[in-house]
Amino acid sequence: HLGKIEELLSGENRGPILLPYQFQMEEIEGFRYRCRDAMRSVTKQAIREARLKEIKEELLHSEKLKTYFEDNPRDLQLLRHDLPLHPAVVKPHLGHVPDYLVPPALRGLVRPHKKRKKLSSSCRKAKVWLLGTADSCRTPPHLLVCHHQNV
């Protein structure tokens, strides 16, 4: 299979497209626990729920079933509001890779995780006021205190 993929990717260039990545196993040892954590969440039940979700989406967007759902709106409503029995647990900590886990050779290539500055309470109120009012021509006095550009 790998040969077919390389052949499709290379196109006119006959040079190798996929090259082995050279690294030391010790550099990525810190990822072992993260990989185990991610692997533990992939269970038969999680796969079944994900596949059911895909099938429901296909049913909802099917052109062939469109007329059926027009005749039977209750079935469409039931399908839309059907919730998964065992929803997958999202682990947000796996989305961020801390600096100490990134190998030294890759630290320059990986974008640093930028922390967002918290707005002061007066700036948050100003932002809510600006976004929530239809008439934003008049400026309330407490807005004059905020010095952030992205309000």
Domain total of the chain:
2
The string of pLDDT tens digits covering residues 90-117 is 788 888 888 888 887 777 776 665 666 6
CA 123 to CA 144: how far, in whole Å? 10
The string of pLDDT tens digits covering residues 62-97 is 999 999 999 999 999 988 888 777 777 778 888 888
* 119 to 112, 113, 140, 149: CA distances (angstroms): 21, 19, 18, 11
53 shares a domain with 94: yes
143 shares a domain with 90: no
Residue among 79, 47, 46 at smallest CA distance from 61? 79
Which residues form the domain of 149?
119-151
148 found inside a domain: yes
Contacts of 17 (CB under 8 A, 6+ apart): 6, 9, 10
For tokens 């922390």, name the residue: 115
